[in-house]
Each structure stands twice: as structure tokens, then as C-alpha cells.
Structure 1
Amino acid sequence: MKRNLILVFLLVTSCILMSGCTESTGPEVTLIDENYDAQKDYFTHKVDVEYAKGFTVEYFNNYKLVTVAEPQSDVEYSYILVQKGTPVPEHDSDSIVIEVPVDSVAALSTTQLPALEIIEELDKLKAVSAFTYINSAPVREMIDEGSVEEVGTGSYMNTESMVRINPELVLTLTTGIPYDDEHINTLIDLGLKPVVINEYKEETPLGQAEWLKFISLFFNGEEQANDYFTQVSEDYMELAEKTSSIEERPTVMSGMAWQGMWYVPGGKSFIAQYIDDAGASYFWQEDDHTASVPLDFEAVFDKGKEADYWVTSSMWNSIDDAESEDALYLEFKSLTNENVFTSYAKVNENGGNDYYESGTVRPDLVLADFVKMFHPEMVPDHEFVYHKQVEASSGGSEE
């Protein structure tokens, strides 16, 4: 009994000395800065969410309330971003409290890397899911230097490495596959701070790119994120405005076949938006899905064979490659007219596609690629960045 009283006394004394006890419902106890001012706004720069539908942010004097919502679902993730040296507010027990700015981060998707580079926080990167598919030159240099580790993701995550590295922030995503998404709860149980980033579920290219702002919140990098996004979005909208008056719009099919099924971007996906903003008509535009939709090969064949263009994610260099995959492709008008384009123009030696990396924060360049496909006269000086035209034969490929 006496021993227990002594322990209680020590805990209370420690709390008083640190001046850090709060009424938070969570276990976090932060060391309060002696110069803490409850009336001060600790966040000089703030972001406004203009296009993204998957996250929201509310600013308070010393913390940010950030919410991520799964589309077409009631599932939400809540994060309390507290300025270091200030008290943790009262919060729901399901919310994850993270002190900002963070000093170390694990990024489990290549789509998260460009944002860290843009806000100049790449030096805080400590772990990635896999080295193989990364295109970023600075990150590859860090890998070569041994300052970044490979930890896997989802059901293949190396939890022992994650615990040893102990990053203050873990950027991850959800797939909708239960055994993969369980890694989020695993990380929480290990005392880590996983944060869900689902930019790929956005309906628009600018909404996808705006998740750059989301990542900046954890580093107090809102100023850099705002400056970058403002320029990119203005360039995008300027080009989209030029194509908006086009009346003769070619029809475009997209997606690819895999094991008897055809996976097409939903009619509300950011791919469909790119096609529309580029002055063309998407052949599946009436669909209401934001992600890829699996369809019978016959259904796509009947509808898509008359499309003027085909934008695919296949790694084809020539029409011969398409034919060797399935001779039925030769019945598509887009192939006979040599109007097939692939998003595999910038690929590293391991097959890592930069379209899914830096392309996520350069919607202006991706849109210019699409306009170059359908209306090249409108962007005469633009050279393809993320896309290339599939050649008529295997004799060569366009750079």
C-alpha cells in the first residue's frame, strides 16, 4: 500500500513539474513550452481545400483537426495535429494525436514522395515500402546512401523494422482489402501513428494533386504547398478553359484487359475528368464509379471497338505488342488508326512508372499530354511527359 502511494505521488509531482497534464482522453502527455501562449495562433499559414473531397482541416490556435473520409462510406479517420510545446486538447479516443512539425516519416506509397520534395521535407524520410519502383532522383540517392530503409506495406509489412525505425508519422493508404488494411490497426497497436492518404480515390486531377496540402499539414509546410498548388492549378484551368469550347470531340476508351476481365476507369474518376478537360468524350462517362470498374471483355469490346482513341496503362511499345497479347485488339478502330497511347513513358529500370509518382502532383502536365493526343494543334510546343504513342510496329518507340 505504501509503495502504491509513493508511485502516485511521483506521478502527480512529475505532472506538475512538466506542466503538461491535460484533460485529453488519450494517453499523450506533451512537454509544455514555458512560453506557451493560449491566445496565440501558432499557424501563420493555412490551407483551404478547394477540390479534394477526401479530407478536411479545421484550424484552432495550437492544433489542427484533420479528417479523412472514405468515399461512398461512413468510415472516417480523425487526426489531432498539435503544435509541439503546446497542450493536447480534449479529443475522441479514436483520434490519433500527432505533434507537429514531425521530424521523421515513413511513406508507404510512391505517390507521397513528391509532396515531401515540394515542401522541402525529404530529409525527414526514414522508410519506404519498396525501393524497386521509386523514380525520384533525391530519394534514390538517399537509398544508395543507406539513409532510407525498405519496410514493405499492407500484409507484407516488416513490423520489426517499423518499430526499430520508430517514425513519428507513417503515411499509408487503404485498399478495401481487409487483410491489407489491417496493417493500420497493427501500427496503432505498436504505438505508431498511421495516417491514411487516399488521393487515388479522388474524382478530379486537381483533387488528387491537392493531397499535397494534406501532407504539408504534418510539417507546417502549408506556405510551400499553397504556392506550388496555386501555380499548378492555374496552369491546369487555363488549358482546360481553352478546350472547353471544342464541339467536335473524339471518343476515347481507356483501361485494359486482365485475366478475362476489362478494368476501365469509372465515369467519375480523375481519368474521365482528364479526358473531358482535354476536349474528348469518354466512352464510359455515364458510369458513377470513381475507381476502376471490372467488366466482361465482351461488354467493353462491343462498346469500345469504335472509339477513336485508346489510352491504356499497358506497357506496350508497338501494335505488335497489343496483338501478341490478344489478336482481337486488332479489331479496335483505335489500333487500326494508330491512335493508341500508353502512360508508360517515364519508367525506371524496374518498371516503376513516374506517372503514378510525380504525375500525381503535375496534373497540368498530364492534361497537356491528353490534349496533345486529341488536339495536338492546341499545344504545339508540348512534348509528351508521361505518355507516349504506341508505334505501328516494334521497330522503335517514341521518346
Structure 2
Amino acid sequence: MKSRILLLFILFILTSCKREPKISSSDWTLLSNRLQYKEQNGILQLKSGNFTYDFKSDQMPFKKIILLNASMAGYITELGAEDLIAGVSSPEYIYSDKIQNLLKEGEILNVGNEQKYEVEKIISLKPDAIFTNYVASFDNTYQLLKNNGIKIIFLDEYMEQKPLERTAYIKLFGKLLGKNKEAETKYQEVEKNYKELKQLALQAKTRPLVLANIMYGDVWYLPGGNTSTVNYISDANAEYILKNNTEEKSIPMSFEEVFAKSGNVQYWVNAGNHVSKKEMLSMNPLYSKLDVFSKGKIYVITGKEIQKANDFFESGVVRSDLVLKDYIKIFHPELLPDYQLTYMKELQ
């Protein structure tokens, strides 16, 4: 049940957040509307959401870091920098084999979870920096760590709605961890693949109608029309059920409202972490009323999942090209006849 609640929380925040106003300056390297940095007079200045940071050249690259969010592990593993991690929170949600092995060997320590961080252990590790999403309820903990000379860098990668902008955060990690070349190479690879896949999708002869997400209680939280999920659907040359919506947040709807719009739906994606259609109906019998349930195809994001750890929320944060490739394979299988799904799985 806890994993289902976490999945709901992750899917909700991925589709429910607004962007900050764009900061434009020729001096800044803009990775997204909410993340930019520049180097001047031996200082790296970083703006991340509402937070600003200055790092002197002799403070970088960081040699010892702590991650308080599993999604950030994806950037570290893509850079091959797992050995720089001194601690992580909630390790049961981390998919990376190497990080799990380092945990078993005691090279990486468990520093708590989303309920309570082990502050004394964090302080004893003396990290150069902690990377995390900002959570207001942890303000006292953050301040205590800062009082002990620990840098806390708040990043909002989960709020990015454009897939390649979320991937671009790898450039910042490369800058801070002394992995500039590796980060730029990886980003260019993903960007090139993504753009080529987007062009490939345009060759499809059909543009199927798509439904996304599932119900929680009596509410169906559909992704808004400008969310990352819908950007993937659009770039895969498919049509979303709320194609005219312009929100960057989730849209709560009743089953009846979704039913009225779903008559021609051929594909249902991001259908939670259900293991079968039978199990899906046991959670909500109303699904059987949808034509797509019996006549279409349903996909869940559990293709790379081990117990509580799901690689879609880890490496998938960086590998937007592979996520797009999955969607194209789902909607237009004839375009990728030899490709096997990476993060998605058809529900039987």
C-alpha cells in the first residue's frame, strides 16, 4: 500500500506544478525556466527555483554527496559517479545495482527516510553537499544541517514538464561533480536520439487517441495538456484525450466525465502499478465499463521494477529518449519492429 501511495504522490507532482517566470540573460546558461547557472570571477552562481547559490572554484568538484531523492540517483548513475555518494535516504526506492551493492558493502549509508532524516549521521559523514527537493516541513532539519556547515542544494527536476529539460539537469550535476565532458556527451546523445525518434513518429499513418493515469478513490487525476506525460504522448505522434487542455497540473475528473470522452480511446498508458487486468478491476470495477479496457491496450510503468524501486523514476528521468521510444513502440509498433519496451509493460 505504501508503494501505491508513493506512486500516486510521484505521478501527481509530475503533473501538478507550475513553472517560475523565465530569467533571461546572455550571461546565464539556461537549462530550463527554473534552472540556470553562470561562471564569473572564479564563482559558479546557480539559480534553482526560488533558491540561489554561490560556489567558489576551490569548493568544486564535490567529492562526497548525499541524495535525499531516488530520482536524483539517475543523474549520478548516468555519469558513473556512484562512488561520490556517501549517503542516501529511503534506499529501498533506489533501483541502481551499483548503489545497492555499495549500500551492502557499507560504502553508502542509509540516512533515514521521508518521515525522518538521521541528522547526526548526515553531519558525521561531512558531505560536500546534499541534493534534495525542497519540502517545507523539513525547514528545521535543513537549518540544523546548514548550521553545521553542510550545503543543501534544492532542485526541482520533478517539476519540469519538457522531457529534454529534465534530462538537462545532468549538465548541472556534471558541472558540480567534475564530470562536464561526460554530462555533455550524455545529454547530446539523449537529445539527438529524442529528436530523431520524434521525427520517426511523424511517419506513422495513424494518430491514436490516448487515455492516461488511473482513479484514486472517486477521482481520476488526468495529466494536464502541458505536462510531461502529454508532451511524450504528443511527441510520439498520438492524440491525448484532453488535447485542448493547457494546464501544467493534473485535472481531477469523475469517472463519468472520463467515460464520456473515452469512446474512441485505443491506448491507456501510465495505468498505475497494477499487475493484471483482474487485479485492476478488484481495485475499481468501473474500469470494465471503458471500451479501452476490453478492446484496447493498457500499459503500466513497471517494466523495470524491483519491489519498491522503479527505474522509470530513476534512469527514466535522464533517459527521456528511451521513455519516448517506449511510447512510440506502444502507439506505432510498426515503426520500431525490433525494439522491446524498456520502462513500460502491457497489462494482461
TM interval, shorter chain, is 0.7 to 0.9
Aligned pairs for 1:205-284 (under 5 A) are 205-244=163-202, 246=204, 248-284=206-242
Asked if 1 retains the 8 angstrom alpha-carbon contact of 2:30 and 2:37, the reply is no
Distance (Å, rounded) in 1 between the aligned partners of 2:120 and 2:343 = 37
Give the deviation of 1:155 after TM superposition: 4.7
| Matching residue's letter, 1:108 | L
Distance (Å, rounded) in 2 between the aligned partners of 1:119 and 1:48 = 23
Match of 2:279 among 292, 305, 321: 321
Give the deviation of 1:65 after TM superposition: 0.8
**Count of equivalent residues:** 322
Asked if 1 retains the 8 angstrom alpha-carbon contact of 2:31 and 2:169, the reply is no
Distance 1:183 1:289, change over 3 A: farther
Match of 2:47 among 61, 67, 72: 67
| Matching residue's letter, 1:79 | Y
Q: Which moved more, 1:231-240 or 1:50-59?
A: 50-59
Asked if 2 retains the 8 angstrom alpha-carbon contact of 1:256 and 1:313, the reply is yes
Q: Which moved more, 1:241-250 or 1:254-263?
A: 241-250
Match of 2:37 among 51, 57, 73: 57
Highest RCO, 1 vs 2 (Cα 8 Å, sep ≥ 6): 2
Distance (Å, rounded) in 2 between the aligned partners of 1:380 and 1:48 = 42
Give the deviation of 1:189 after TM superposition: 3.6
Match of 2:151 among 186, 193, 204: 193
| Matching residue's letter, 1:81 | F
Give the deviation of 1:313 after TM superposition: 4.2
Distance 1:234 1:53, change over 3 A: same
Distance (Å, rounded) in 2 between the aligned partners of 1:196 and 1:293 = 27
| Matching residue's letter, 1:312 | N
Asked if 2 retains the 8 angstrom alpha-carbon contact of 1:154 and 1:180, the reply is no
Q: Which residue of 1 aligns with 2:60?
A: 100
**Structure 2 runs not aligned, ≥5 long:** 1-26
The answer as to 2:334 corresponding to 1:389 is no
Secondary structure at the aligned position of 1:344 is classed as coil
Q: Which residue of 1 aligns with 2:319?
A: 362
Secondary structure at the aligned position of 1:317 is classed as coil
Give the deviation of 1:220 after TM superposition: 2.6
| Matching residue's letter, 1:127 | G
Asked if 1 retains the 8 angstrom alpha-carbon contact of 2:194 and 2:320, the reply is yes
The answer as to 2:160 corresponding to 1:202 is yes
Asked if 2 retains the 8 angstrom alpha-carbon contact of 1:52 and 1:206, the reply is no
TM (norm. structure 2) is 0.86
Q: Which residue of 2 aligns with 1:113?
A: 73
Match of 2:56 among 54, 57, 82: 82
Match of 1:335 among 273, 287, 293: 293
Distance 1:160 1:259, change over 3 A: farther
Deviations 1:47-70 (A, max 9, x none): 98566322001122412111012x
Secondary structure at the aligned position of 2:243 is classed as coil
Distance (Å, rounded) in 1 between the aligned partners of 2:143 and 2:30 = 30
Secondary structure at the aligned position of 1:132 is classed as helix
**Structure 1 runs not aligned, ≥5 long:** 1-46, 70-75, 85-98, 392-399
Q: Which moved more, 1:325-334 or 1:137-146?
A: 325-334
Distance (Å, rounded) in 1 between the aligned partners of 2:218 and 2:298 = 21
Distance 1:66 1:311, change over 3 A: same
Q: Which moved more, 1:135-144 or 1:238-247?
A: 238-247
Give the deviation of 1:290 after TM superposition: 2.6
Q: Which moved more, 1:143-152 or 1:298-307?
A: 298-307
TM (norm. structure 1) is 0.76
What do you get for the CA RMSD once the two structures are aligned? 2.1
Asked if 2 retains the 8 angstrom alpha-carbon contact of 1:133 and 1:353, the reply is yes
Distance 1:276 1:48, change over 3 A: farther
